[in-house]
Amino acid sequence: MTRHALDVSDDGRILTLSGSEGPLRFHAVWLRDNAQDEETRAPGNGQRLIALRDIPEDTRIEAAEQADDTLRLTFAPEGKTIAFDTGWLARHAYDRADDRAPGWTAPVVETWDSALMNAAPTGDFGEVSADPAARRDWLAQIARLGFARLTGGPVEDGALFKVVDLFGHVRETNYGRKFEVRTEVNPTNLAYTGLGLQAHTDNPYRDPVPTVQVLYCLESSAAGGENMVVDGFAVAQRLRDENPEWFDVLSRHCARFEYAGGDGVCLRSRRPMIELAPDGELIGVRFNNRSAAAITDVPFDDMPTYYAAYRRMGEIIDDPAMEVTFRLDPGEAFVVNNTRVLHARKGYSGSGTRWLQGCYADMDGLRSTLAVLEAGR
């Protein structure tokens, strides 16, 4: 049990809880809105049963008392007494200084560079399928590092769907539920050639972009065609550290992306290459030379700086010090957070074949599955 000192001030509009965490202030209306009683929140599914319109505008605290870890607050003018858990309050406190520089990342995120090469996150298909703890650990790597490999899977058409079944749902697109990555005679997309591809995020011309990509290998006897991944968050932060103005210009202005293959598709988006939440959290990177359309949303005077930043971002992406390379054998796959990690492949040609199947899914489903597995730990 933690003992907190209580103080109600500003005519009942502010509660101050003083404990080991230091004084934490809460507003009466926030407290009332976040009540967990059965009339406010549905017991089964936790959904809020009332709206803010049901809470009086001049809500004040007229009584506060503490017993063990429970705080009982009486709100006027409702005359309603509601119990709060002091631990919950401390975990949800918003009374703190925020001096984070733009480009900060969520606590779960761990950025990386080529030093990760010998410790690239990997799971075994059989273990991850059968053992919830192994699945949890594999998904946690994707949440933390933005990618993971999977080995030991079946070599069969559609096996990649078994990977998606581990955490979520396929995002079907104009490419189908899955697409074949192998050399085609009349390719609608350069991915379907033997060309090397610069590290990129997929489908930036889509909005929302698919936030997960799975690439699954079925044949790989051709020379070349190795896969590489680069942490786009590490790239963006390195750019920021080298030149804050370059980071700023790429996050403050929208790029444009377009894909209009010969198959009745015309997808266009207008989004920044470095995407920040309004409070500066780094939440997405888009980079794809093939589908970059004309950039028309940067003011004339900023365009030289924008192009210098865009060029430098590409150089950092191409820097071998940033990349992790691996070769997929049949039955092996990798999963990337497509809003963060860029992927590339080296060119291939000559005898032998290279056949991958790809599909899209979403990080929210993956994070949900991970959260449920972690809660059950």
Q: Does 169 bind its own copies (CB under 8 A)?
A: yes
Q: Does 364 bind its own copies (CB under 8 A)?
A: yes
Q: Does 29 bind its own copies (CB under 8 A)?
A: yes
Q: Does 341 bind its own copies (CB under 8 A)?
A: no
- Choose one: 47-55, 140-148, 151-159, 233-241; the region binding its own copies (CB under 8 A): 47-55
Give, in degrees to the nearest 5, the angle at Cα 261 between 252 and 256.
10
The CB-of-83 to its own copies minimum distance in angstroms stands at 16
> Please, what's the largest Cα pairwise distance for the chain?
81
Q: Does 69 bind its own copies (CB under 8 A)?
A: no
The CB-of-347 to its own copies minimum distance in angstroms stands at 13
| Residue the block writes with tokens 């949440």 | 143
The CB-of-370 to its own copies minimum distance in angstroms stands at 9
Which of positions 93-112 make contact with its own copies (CB under 8 A)? 93-96, 98
Q: Both tokens of residue 146?
A: 């933005």
- Choose one: 68-76, 108-116, 127-135, 181-189; the region binding its own copies (CB under 8 A): 181-189
**Contact flags string 207-246 toward its own copies, x per CB under 8 A:** xxx-x-----------------------------------
> What one-character-per-residue DSSP string does 282-322 give?
EEEE---TTTB----SS-GGGHHHHHHHHHHHHHHHH-GGG
Q: Does 279 bind its own copies (CB under 8 A)?
A: yes
Q: Both tokens of residue 315?
A: 């150089």
| Nearest of 359, 67, 364 to residue 214 by alpha carbon | 359
Phi/psi at 197 (5° precision): -120, 130
The residue within the footprint of its own copies, chosen from 72, 277, 320, 329 (CB under 8 A), is 277
| Nearest of 198, 212, 224 to residue 327 by alpha carbon | 224
Phi/psi at 183 (5° precision): -65, 130
The residue within the footprint of its own copies, chosen from 224, 268, 325, 331 (CB under 8 A), is 268
Cα separation, 58 vs 28, in Å, equals 9
Q: Does 294 bind its own copies (CB under 8 A)?
A: yes
* 224 or 272: CB nearest its own copies: 272
Q: Does 44 bind its own copies (CB under 8 A)?
A: yes
Asked if 73 and 13 touch (Cβ cutoff 8 Å), the reply is: no
* 218 or 341: CB nearest its own copies: 341
